[in-house]
A = this chain, B = another copy of it.
């Protein structure tokens, strides 16, 4: 398993074509806008070497029997599924942001279970190919971007109906040694910090769209691939020379557009190429695992935000006021409800044909649907506790200005026994998580990551088993005969 430092070095050894804020970047590893997201991902390496977190961060590989980072693992039990969620909560707590390595993990498990079923049914060899590939990932302890979301263009149209056929990633050429693909993936969390890209389809495809029913892996620095960094709220504060105004100066999330401009993929890295009937399963399972994930990572970030709210209440002399205490309880209640959903869908997991455990899909979708709401309310409560200074506080440079600074330090002090910069720092952290770069991950990504809310609702509708529930009601209400006439019953 790599150390944090080895991971960062490994990125340097794989130079990529990256655009940030309108410029092509030579050394993305040290770019001040990107580096915090690398640090966040690096935490998945750092903690894996600490004895106290060994049970969560490491595990024995089911493929090689060797100790690996859990982020590269195929879940072999309910306990594995539960530990995954706890690991994610821990990392959310340590970074206060999205640490980006989950998409790969969730992709591995989804691809593993679906390729097994494809091979069983179609006689293909995708599953062994994939396991061979994954063994390498485990051995090298790689970060893999699980890339699902296509740009989609006009949402009313299927892939092949779009004005531009490339709006979903597709096979443009099938060759004896592999395929050539073209398209783009958007909202790619941590893509630039990855060693590999694992591409999956974004929708359940139909026959007409079979060239879009596509799953493969490529090195993140493969020829024809480039990246454009997504803007985030307050992204350029990272370019200022201020420790304080950033809120979270060490860590951050990352979203990028990946362009695949006629990229060649050899067959041994292709895991689906036209088997459109399995595309829906793959989407559903990846989404399911990733919806489970949010019951861990966002809860960890929620812990940070609750802690920040409690701290700032203290700095302002308000921590014992009943209504403040009630709001903290509300935040805890909402956050732990999310966690409960994350744990429950894991504890109710079941083995699939390949032996890999799948979460309970109904509960995983319930989990994510709550994640699309509760962090917003937690953020609102944090803003309520923080007070207006959250958005009216002058910059760190003002506090340090020879003329203005002394006045600001005089007037913007809370309880006098606390250092003024504690309050400033914690307010900036709350700003970061509710309005700034952190809010991208904590709020908007909670909404749309792993599928927008309506996709979870559609799944709930499919999995809710309404016929059974109707029968329960009819049994209790003593409804024996429902239909009027025999001819209708036929």
Which residues from B are CB-within-8-Å of A144?
Answer: none
Interchain CB contact (< 8 A) of A387 among B22, B452, B484: B452
Interchain CB contact (< 8 A) of A473 among B256, B308, B388, B464: B308
* A343 touching B347 in the complex, CB below 8 Å, given contacts A19-B394, A310-B470, A395-B22: yes
Interchain CB contact (< 8 A) of A477 among B155, B426, B443, B460: B426
Are A476 and B429 in touch, CB under 8 angstroms? yes
How far does the alpha carbon of A453 sit from the alpha carbon of B327 in the complex, in Å? Answer: 12
Which residues from B are CB-within-8-Å of A468?
Answer: 303, 307
Tell which of A318, A417, A449, A481 has the most Cβ of chain B within 10 Å.
A417
How far does the alpha carbon of A391 sit from the alpha carbon of B457 in the complex, in Å? Answer: 23
Are A19 and B344 in touch, CB under 8 angstroms? no
Which residues from B are CB-within-8-Å of A307?
Answer: 466, 468-474
Q: Is residue A53 contacting chain B, with contact meaning CB distance below 8 A?
A: no
Which residues from B are CB-within-8-Å of A403?
Answer: 19, 24
Interchain CB contact (< 8 A) of A484 among B255, B369, B391, B416: B416
Tell me which of A101-109, A245-253, A276-284 binds B.
A245-253
Closest approach, in angstroms, between the C-beta of A165 and any C-beta of chain B? 11
Q: Is residue A257 contacting chain B, with contact meaning CB distance below 8 A?
A: yes
Tell which of A247, A337, A346, A440 has the most Cβ of chain B within 10 Å.
A337
Q: Is residue A328 contacting chain B, with contact meaning CB distance below 8 A?
A: yes
A–B pairs, 20, beta carbons within 8 Å:
A22-B397, A22-B398, A22-B401, A167-B413, A226-B407, A236-B236, A247-B477, A257-B412, A261-B407, A307-B473, A308-B470, A310-B466, A322-B323, A328-B461, A384-B452, A387-B448, A388-B447, A391-B445, A422-B479, A435-B436
Interface residues of A in 308-350 (CB under 8 A from B): 308, 310-311, 314, 316-318, 321-323, 325-326, 328-329, 332-333, 336-337, 339-348
Closest approach, in angstroms, between the C-beta of A435 and any C-beta of chain B? 4
Q: Is residue A184 contacting chain B, with contact meaning CB distance below 8 A?
A: yes
Are B444 and A325 in touch, CB under 8 angstroms? no
How far does the alpha carbon of A441 sit from the alpha carbon of B423 in the complex, in Å? Answer: 22
Which residues from B are CB-within-8-Å of A418?
Answer: 482-484
Q: Is residue A96 contacting chain B, with contact meaning CB distance below 8 A?
A: yes
Are B19 and A464 in touch, CB under 8 angstroms? no
Are B425 and A472 in touch, CB under 8 angstroms? no
* A326 touching B329 in the complex, CB below 8 Å, given contacts A24-B403, A488-B417: no
Interchain CB contact (< 8 A) of A340 among B255, B363, B466, B478: B363
Which residues from B are CB-within-8-Å of A121?
Answer: none
Which residues from B are CB-within-8-Å of A308?
Answer: 470, 473, 477
How far does the alpha carbon of A404 sit from the alpha carbon of B78 in the complex, in Å? Answer: 45
Are A380 and B373 in touch, CB under 8 angstroms? yes
Q: Is residue A410 contacting chain B, with contact meaning CB distance below 8 A?
A: yes
Q: Is residue A63 contacting chain B, with contact meaning CB distance below 8 A?
A: no
Are A304 and B426 in touch, CB under 8 angstroms? no
How far does the alpha carbon of A362 sit from the alpha carbon of B336 in the complex, in Å? Answer: 8
Q: Is residue A217 contacting chain B, with contact meaning CB distance below 8 A?
A: no
Q: Is residue A166 contacting chain B, with contact meaning CB distance below 8 A?
A: yes
How far does the alpha carbon of A387 sit from the alpha carbon of B186 in the complex, in Å? Answer: 12
Which residues from B are CB-within-8-Å of A255?
Answer: 388, 391-392
Interchain CB contact (< 8 A) of A476 among B96, B183, B229, B411: B96
Nearest 8 pairs between A and B by C-beta? A22-B397, A307-B469, A347-B347, A307-B473, A388-B448, A340-B344, A230-B392, A255-B392
* A156 touching B484 in the complex, CB below 8 Å, given contacts A343-B348, A404-B19: no
Tell me which of A69-77, A128-136, A146-154, A203-211 binds B.
A146-154
Are B485 and A417 in touch, CB under 8 angstroms? yes
Q: Is residue A58 contacting chain B, with contact meaning CB distance below 8 A?
A: no
Q: Is residue A287 contacting chain B, with contact meaning CB distance below 8 A?
A: no
Interchain CB contact (< 8 A) of A383 among B328, B398, B444, B469: B444
How far does the alpha carbon of A187 sit from the alpha carbon of B393 in the complex, in Å? Answer: 8
Q: Is residue A358 contacting chain B, with contact meaning CB distance below 8 A?
A: no
